[in-house]
Structure 1
Amino acid sequence: MANDFFWSYTDEPHAPRRRQILSQYPQIKELFGPGPFAPLKISVVVLLQLWTATILHDASWLRILIIAYFFGSFLNHNLFLAIHELSHNIAFSTPVYNRWLGIFANLPIGVPMSVTFQKYHLEHHRFQGVDGVDMDVPSCIEARCVTNAVSKTIWIIFQLFFYALRPLFLKPKPPGYWEIINLFVQLALDATVVYSCGWRSFAYLILSTFVGGGMHPMAGHFISEHYVFKPGQETYSYYGPLNLLTWNVGYHNEHHDFPRIPGPSCIR
């Protein structure tokens, strides 16, 4: 088993691949642009998850945990990937509309992350794998500390915390205007849920986020996308049924080649 990164001294591989593919198949550009059904799909998932939280206001903690793992986690992870889509501005032609929709999609997740995610994720595309710049992949520090089955299991369970805290320690950026809006909208929703339905409803949303990003089938793509299984190959794709729930993020090689194509269009 590899105990270090595979170091490359070339630029990220997808930009030259994109140029080469487009030179041979220029009709691919016809797929660029907004996906027409994104607002509807996001609205359905957001409202379903918030409704589920309301009906669990007096449920037992065991029931809340079970429903969070086997149902709510799928919905919240779907919203993670919806926010990923919106970070590329491919729901609307006007960027600000994508940002507002991202803040809306963020609501059941419980923690404001939509605007900040976009800020760092676009750098992941431009500087894929550059240590200290690309915050979407583990750092050298993590690679040196997480070296056996026990530490890797712990890392996977808490990988959302590593994902969220990594930029704060390695590449902090001052919050901007839109991040403050994201924060206040999210806090308003969280306070409304607690006030109207109680702490159990709010705990359901947080648990759905936590377990859906940890030791869970939906979170497998975090590992499969860019962990090197074959030397020389930096990005990998998955073509299985979970793509139906994850905006086709499994088509990850294709996504990095053509990030302006909406996820649902990757399989055309």
Structure 2
Amino acid sequence: MANDFFWSYTDEPHASRRTQILSQYPQIKELFGPDPFAFLKINVVVLLQLWTVTTLHDASWLRILIIAYFFGSFLNHNLFLAIHELSHNLAFSTPIYNRWLGIFANLPIGVPMSVTFQKYHLEHHRFQGVDGIDMDVPSYIEARYVTNAVSKTIWVIFQLFFYALRPLFLKPKPPGYWEFINLVVQLSLDATVVYSCGWRSFAYLILSTFVGGGMHPMAGHFISEHYVFKPDQETYSYYGPLNLLTWSVGYHNEHHDFPRIPGSKLHKVKEIAPEYYEGLESYKSWSQVIYMYVMDRAVGPFSRMKRKLPRKAE
């Protein structure tokens, strides 16, 4: 296994590819803009998950765990990726409406994260792989200790904790007004669930978030998106059926090339400009990606592309 990251001395590939594609296919600009059905889709998932909460107040812990893994995890991970969509303002043209909808989508997740996520995620797009800025890249501590199949399995199970806590330790940002609103709204919902339905129902929400972000098919996108399995390629797309449940986040090369296009239209980018994507390595199974990551001795947290911040941007 490598003992350091892959270091690139060129700019990230998406800005230049976006320029090339738009010069050849300017009609892609017609795909820019909000998804008119985003509000409806988010409301359906939130209400379905909150209704499920009301049915589990007397359930056994085994039943709660089973329902959380095979049902609730899909709903909460869908909402996490809805928040990802909203961080790009892809539900409404007015940014503040997207922020409020993100706080609403956050409710079944159980932990306030939508406002903070946007701050760090937009930096991931603007400074992909840049050392000290892109918090999507694992830390040196993670990479030093996650070195075999056992430690990688544990890392995958708890990867949501690493994903969420890494930026707070390595590049903390002072919380602002909107983080406070996110916190108050979330704690109000959590308290209401505990008061009305009991701790078991609240535990169901937390378990749905935790197991859905760990050793779970949908969580394979955390690894598939940017972990380097093929030299010289740092972003990978997934063209499998789970895109239907994940706001098409699998179209990840397309998403980084055109972050202003909603997930529901990303497949059209590949249809319009297939020559730019068919030659790139891609996946059809997120579960297979997790298996490859755990079992391949040459792959680990160091399997990410990093670059230094250009002098002109310092």
Coarse TM-score class (shorter-chain normalised): over 0.9
Compare 141-150 and 214-223 and name the one that shifted more: 141-150
Question: In the alignment, is the contact (CA less than 8 A) between 1:131 and 1:139 conserved in 2?
Answer: no
Q: Distance in 1 between matches of 2:35 and 2:186?
A: 25
Question: In the alignment, is the contact (CA less than 8 A) between 1:3 and 1:147 conserved in 2?
Answer: no
Question: In the alignment, is the contact (CA less than 8 A) between 1:131 and 1:140 conserved in 2?
Answer: no
Query: Which ranges in structure 2 are unaligned for 5 or more consecutive residues?
Result: 263-299, 302-313
**1:4 deviation in Å?**
3.0
Q: Which residue of 2 aligns with 1:237?
A: 237
Query: Could you report, residue by residue, the CA deviation over 1:135-165 in whole angstroms, capped at 9, with x for unpaired residues?
Result: 1221232212211111111110001110111
Query: Could you report, residue by residue, the CA deviation over 1:220-258 in whole angstroms, capped at 9, with x for unpaired residues?
Result: 000000000111101000000000000000000000000
**1:131 deviation in Å?**
2.4
Question: In the alignment, is the contact (CA less than 8 A) between 1:12 and 1:126 conserved in 2?
Answer: no
**1:3 deviation in Å?**
4.2
Question: In the alignment, is the contact (CA less than 8 A) between 1:132 and 1:139 conserved in 2?
Answer: no
Divergent runs of 4+, >2 A: 1-4
SS of corresponding position for 1:49: helix
Question: In the alignment, is the contact (CA less than 8 A) between 1:39 and 1:91 conserved in 2?
Answer: yes
Query: Which ranges in structure 1 are unaligned for 5 or more consecutive residues?
Result: none
1:168-207 residue pairs with structure 2 within 5 A? Answer: 168-207=168-207
Q: Distance in 2 between matches of 1:12 and 1:131?
A: 13
Q: Distance in 2 between matches of 1:15 and 1:54?
A: 47
RMSD (Å), alpha carbons: 3.5
SS of corresponding position for 1:16: helix
SS of corresponding position for 1:250: coil
Q: Against the structure 1 CA distance between its residues 241 and 3, is the aligned structure 2 distance closer, same or farther, given a 3 Å change threshold?
A: farther
SS of corresponding position for 2:7: coil
Q: Which residue of 1 aligns with 2:134?
A: 134
SS of corresponding position for 2:90: coil
Q: Distance in 2 between matches of 1:56 and 1:229?
A: 42
Normalised to the residue count of structure 1, the TM-score between the two structures is 0.96
Kindly, what percent of the aligned residue pairs are identical? 93
Q: Distance in 1 between matches of 2:91 and 2:25?
A: 24
**1:13 deviation in Å?**
1.2
Q: Distance in 2 between matches of 1:181 and 1:192?
A: 17
Normalised to the residue count of structure 2, the TM-score between the two structures is 0.82
Q: Distance in 2 between matches of 1:203 and 1:137?
A: 29
Q: Distance in 2 between matches of 1:197 and 1:211?
A: 21
Compare 180-189 and 5-14 and name the one that shifted more: 5-14
Query: Could you report, residue by residue, the CA deviation over 1:28-77 in whole angstroms, capped at 9, with x for unpaired residues?
Result: 00000010000000000000001001100000000000000000000000
SS of corresponding position for 1:132: coil
Query: Could you report, residue by residue, the CA deviation over 1:110-139 in whole angstroms, capped at 9, with x for unpaired residues?
Result: 000000000000000011112221112212
Q: Distance in 2 between matches of 1:16 and 1:157?
A: 36
Question: In the alignment, is the contact (CA less than 8 A) between 1:31 and 1:261 conserved in 2?
Answer: yes
Question: In the alignment, is the contact (CA less than 8 A) between 1:109 and 1:206 conserved in 2?
Answer: yes
